[in-house]
């Protein structure tokens, strides 16, 4: 069995470690200003302009290369809207600007999932209980077995196929994640309760569908089908990309999962430690980072989810240096390396494995 790559720290060390990260956080926060405001407004404009261009080009069906370009631009716009804009704004990263347009709590994005559900499953559950088995739904999304700590069931034999379908329909998966259908099917939720929970989600889904699969195609008249297909492809493109990036964030080979007991009296430093050990980064160029919504800096994001994402790149070397000093493994690699490890996990853990007690993870040196 593989041991965690991070060395256990003493309580004092963890406290110091936490204090250093706190100081870094404060320093960046005090430095926020015009530059960051301009940045996120530029991203917003880029999303809108690429979207408009992409949608217009889709009407050029008679010139196929232009149509293809339209799909790519629209897909790009949806990726940006989802990642660098939506995900980050919803975290409240730009709340300090006091601009109601960029307020995390009110933000809605161009996907079938509602901002409200995301604020609950992601901002709160996933970010607070990161990689705690039984608390963080993102561990396999109730659909996949990615860690030996999860109990094997025969259903998981189909996991490779399930994973592909899940990737294609990722935005739908995210949309219903908060409904916790599993609990419903087990009879733990009254039908009325489910209907009430579904109503806002259904409304959002309907509006998104009407836009992409009815109104825009209708505007194309005889081009109804090419436009519908273009919109569908752009949505799938976005689903695949976000799936890949998000899975690379927590399911690579060297990340740790934790038992619920880690939360007992967890200090700020220990919380930081858990975030780092449960996350993995991606290496790449500037454009790549933007397309991932800077989730390529997953570690920095999990340490400081409310800091504007455009700052993660700047602080990454410092975070890495701090980790090195404390012997905490800083998990990073190229997209292909990291995603390869994710695929390996999906394949490997579709088969039974020797059960591992979750509490093997030691945060503290006793």
Partner 1 sequence: MVASTVKKLLRAGDWLATPLNAARYLETINPLWSDHGRGRVERLIQETPDTVTLVIRANGAWAGGEAGQYVQLGLDIDGVRYWRCYSLASPVQPGSREFSVTVNRLDGGRVSTYINDCLRAGDLVHLKATAGDFVLPAQRDDQKLLFISAGSGVTPVMGMLRQLIAERSGADVVMLHFSPDYAHCIFHDELRASNSEQRRIHLAVTREDARDGDLAGHFSADMLEQVCPDWRSRQAYVCGPSSLMSAVSELFLGAGLSSQLKQEAFVLKRAEVPEGAGGKVGFVVAGKQVDADGKTSLLEVAEGAGLTPEHGCRMGICCGCLATLKEGQVRDLNTGEVFGESGEKVRICVCAAAGDVSLEL
Contact string 67-106 vs partner 1 (x = CB under 8 A): ------------------------xx--xxxxx-x-xxx-
Segment 127-166, which members bind partner 1 (CB under 8 A)? 127-128
SS3 label, residue 79: helix
Residue closer to partner 1 by CB (options 105, 283) is 105
Rule CB under 8 A: say whether 120 interacts with partner 1: yes
Rule CB under 8 A: say whether 38 interacts with partner 1: yes
Burial class (CB in 10 A: 0-12, 13-18, 19+), 196: exposed
Of 106, 122, 248, whose CA–CA distance to 173 is shortest?
122
Rule CB under 8 A: say whether 264 interacts with partner 1: no
What's the rounded Cα separation, in Å, for the pair 196 and 201? 10
Rule CB under 8 A: say whether 210 interacts with partner 1: yes
CB of 158 to partner 1, least distance (A): 34
Alpha-carbon separation of residue 122 from 12, 95, 135 (angstroms)? 31, 17, 12
Distance in Å from the first CA to the final CA of the chain: 21
Rule CB under 8 A: say whether 204 interacts with partner 1: yes
Segment 288-307, which members bind partner 1 (CB under 8 A)? 305-306
Rule CB under 8 A: say whether 312 interacts with partner 1: no
Q: How many C-beta atoms surround the C-beta of residue 154 within 10 A?
A: 7
Of 169, 335, 173, 339, whose CA–CA distance to 237 is shortest?
169
Q: Are 280 and 337 spatial neighbours (Cβ–Cβ below 8 Å)? A: no
Q: Are 110 and 273 spatial neighbours (Cβ–Cβ below 8 Å)? A: no
Residue closer to partner 1 by CB (options 204, 297) is 204
Burial class (CB in 10 A: 0-12, 13-18, 19+), 366: exposed
Binding partner 1 by CB under 8 A: which of 4, 5, 16, 48? 48
Rule CB under 8 A: say whether 119 interacts with partner 1: yes
Which residues in 233-243 are b (16+ Cβ under 10 Å) and which e? bbbbbbbbbbb
CB of 40 to partner 1, least distance (A): 9
Rule CB under 8 A: say whether 34 interacts with partner 1: yes
CB of 208 to partner 1, least distance (A): 7
Which span sits near partner 1 by CB under 8 A: 23-31, 59-67, 194-202, 284-292?
23-31
Residues that contact partner 1, how many (by CB under 8 A): 47
Rule CB under 8 A: say whether 202 interacts with partner 1: no
**CB within 8 A of 286, min separation 6: which ones?**
313
Burial class (CB in 10 A: 0-12, 13-18, 19+), 349: buried
CB of 121 to partner 1, least distance (A): 11
Structure tokens at 189: 């939720």
Which span sits near partner 1 by CB under 8 A: 21-29, 186-194, 242-250, 312-320?
21-29
CB of 259 to partner 1, least distance (A): 19
Segment 169-188, which members bind partner 1 (CB under 8 A)? none
Contact residues toward partner 1 (CB under 8 A) are 22, 25-26, 29-30, 32-38, 44-45, 48-49, 52, 91-92, 95-99, 101, 103-105, 108-110, 119-120, 123-124, 127-128, 204, 207-208, 210-211, 215-216, 271, 305-306
């Amino acid at each position: 069995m593989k041991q965690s790559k991070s060395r256990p720290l003493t309580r004092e060390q963890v406290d110091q470690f936490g204090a250093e990260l706190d100081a870094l956080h404060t320093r960046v926060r005090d430095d926020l200003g015009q530059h960051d405001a301009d940045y996120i407004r530029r991203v917003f404009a880029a999303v809108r302009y690429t979207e408009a261009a992409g949608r217009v080009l889709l009407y050029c069906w008679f010139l196929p290369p232009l149509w293809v370009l339209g799909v790519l631009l629209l897909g790009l716009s949806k990726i940006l809207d989802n990642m660098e804009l939506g995900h980050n704004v919803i975290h409240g990263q730009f709340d300090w600007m006091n601009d109601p347009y960029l307020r995390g709590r009110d933000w809605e994005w161009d996907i079938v999932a509602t901002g409200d559900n995301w604020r609950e499953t992601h901002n709160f559950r996933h970010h607070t209980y990161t990689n705690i088995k039984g608390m963080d739904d993102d561990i396999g999304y109730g659909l996949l077995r990615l860690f030996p700590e999860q109990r094997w069931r025969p259903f998981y034999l189909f996991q490779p196929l399930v994973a592909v379908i899940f990737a294609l329909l990722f935005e739908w998966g995210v949309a219903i994640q908060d409904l916790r259908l599993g609990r419903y099917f087990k009879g733990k939720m009254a039908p009325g309760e489910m209907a009430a929970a579904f109503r806002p989600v259904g409304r959002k889904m309907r509006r998104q569908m009407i836009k992409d699969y009815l109104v825009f195609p209708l505007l194309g008249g005889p081009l109804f089908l090419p436009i519908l297909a273009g919109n569908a492809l752009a949505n799938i493109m976005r689903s695949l990309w976000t799936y890949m990036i998000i899975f690379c964030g927590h399911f690579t080979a060297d990340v740790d999962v934790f038992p619920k007991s880690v939360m007992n009296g967890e200090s700020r430093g220990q919380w930081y430690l858990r975030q780092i050990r449960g996350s993995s980064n991606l290496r790449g160029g500037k454009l790549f980072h933007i397309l991932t919504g800077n989730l390529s800096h997953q570690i920095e994001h999990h340490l400081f989810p409310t800091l504007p994402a455009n700052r993660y790149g700047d602080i990454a070397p410092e975070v890495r240096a701090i980790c090195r000093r404390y012997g905490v493994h800083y998990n990073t690699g190229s997209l292909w390396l990291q995603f390869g490890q994710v695929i390996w996990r999906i394949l490997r853990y579709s088969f039974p494995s020797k059960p591992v007690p979750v509490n093997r993870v030691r945060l503290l040196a006793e």
